[in-house]
């Protein structure tokens, strides 16, 4: 019998960096980590649009803190729905990125229209400028994206399903029974408890929330409370599965 002492961990599972074209340039690795710590977050996931090139820099910036950084990516499917891929190790996120780059719409980023896409190091220095069209959709269907995430031992989360744009429900109008999602994400506009009541037909999925931060002040404006032994990958997976006493806390 598991007699481990359980604690509450606050996790923001949807944060962009200066690599995302629509994020502010001050969403640098060190600034993100500093803001997350000020907001007393235990876990933060880096989920840039169609790329994971800043993941390792944020992880390196957090090394001397108590913040756990999850490598991730936000993929836009061919249906123009956003799916978060969360991974245990950065190489798994990079592997997913390589697939996304192969299936990304051709073309170059228009910096005046979408914004500059900065690859930074752990000290907030510019390493390069990504010129791919990261704001665009891939040619992968939503089921292909979910399968690819799982093939890399990741968690597949349907992003901001309560929104009308770029969400699975907004684009398809429903969640296919065959889609093996690990969680549904609710935007910062909706309380998790209310979301479970509003979307009770999808109660088979755990619900999480995140800030979808594109500026530093947005980090931690929404977060998920997990009951876990400690903030680590294994405990997060157990909580999403509702296993061994670990779980998502929906009410304050």
At residue 1, the pLDDT reads 40
At residue 252, the pLDDT reads 62
- CA pair distance 177, 182, nearest whole angstrom: 13
At residue 193, the pLDDT reads 87
Check: CB of residue 45 under 8 Å from CB of residue 136: no
- CA pair distance 50, 75, nearest whole angstrom: 5
Residues 6+ apart with CB under 8 A from 123: 29, 30, 61
Angle at the Cα of 34 (from 33 to 37), degrees rounded to 5? Answer: 85
Check: CB of residue 233 under 8 Å from CB of residue 72: no
Q: What are the C-alpha distances in Å from 147 to residues 140, 152, 156?
A: 10, 9, 9
Residues listed for the chain: 252
At residue 224, the pLDDT reads 97
pTM: 0.96
At residue 4, the pLDDT reads 82
Residues 6+ apart with CB under 8 A from 87: 70, 71, 72, 93, 96, 149, 152, 153, 154, 155
At residue 92, the pLDDT reads 98
Q: Which fold has domain 7-249?
A: TIM Barrel (3.20.20)
Check: CB of residue 248 under 8 Å from CB of residue 239: yes
Check: CB of residue 53 under 8 Å from CB of residue 132: no
At residue 56, the pLDDT reads 98
Check: CB of residue 214 under 8 Å from CB of residue 23: yes
For the chain, 252 residues long, give each residue's pLDDT as a single digit of tens: 457 899 999 999 999 999 999 999 999 999 999 999 999 999 999 999 999 999 999 999 999 999 999 999 999 999 999 999 999 999 999 999 999 999 999 999 999 999 999 999 999 999 999 999 999 999 999 999 999 999 999 999 999 999 999 999 999 999 999 999 999 999 999 989 899 999 999 999 999 999 999 999 999 999 999 999 999 999 999 999 999 999 999 976
């Amino acid at each position: 019998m598991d007699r481990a002492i359980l604690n509450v961990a606050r996790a923001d599972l949807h944060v962009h960096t200066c690599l995302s074209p629509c994020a502010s340039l001050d969403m640098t690795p060190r600034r993100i980590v500093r803001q997350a710590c000020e907001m007393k977050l235990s876990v933060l996931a880096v989920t840039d649009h169609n790329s994971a090139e800043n993941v390792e820099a944020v992880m390196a910036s957090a090394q001397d803190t108590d913040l756990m950084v999850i490598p991730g990516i936000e993929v836009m499917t061919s249906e123009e729905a956003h799916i978060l891929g969360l991974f245990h190790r950065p190489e798994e996120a990079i592997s997913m990125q390589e697939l996304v780059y192969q299936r990304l719409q051709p073309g170059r980023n228009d910096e005046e229209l979408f914004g500059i896409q900065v690859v930074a190091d752990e000290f907030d220095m510019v390493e390069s400028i990504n010129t791919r069209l990261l704001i665009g959709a891939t040619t992968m269907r939503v089921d292909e994206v979910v399968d690819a995430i799982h093939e890399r031992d990741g968690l597949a989360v349907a992003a901001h399903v309560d929104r009308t744009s770029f969400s699975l429900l907004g684009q398809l109008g429903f969640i296919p029974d065959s889609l093996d999602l690990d969680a549904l994400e609710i935007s910062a506009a909706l309380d998790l408890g209310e979301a479970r009541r509003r979307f009770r037909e999808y109660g088979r999925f755990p619900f999480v929330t995140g800030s979808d931060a594109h500026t530093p002040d947005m980090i931690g404006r929404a977060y998920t409370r997990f009951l876990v032994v400690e903030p680590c990958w294994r405990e997060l997976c157990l909580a999403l599965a509702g296993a061994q006493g670990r779980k998502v806390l929906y009410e304050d």
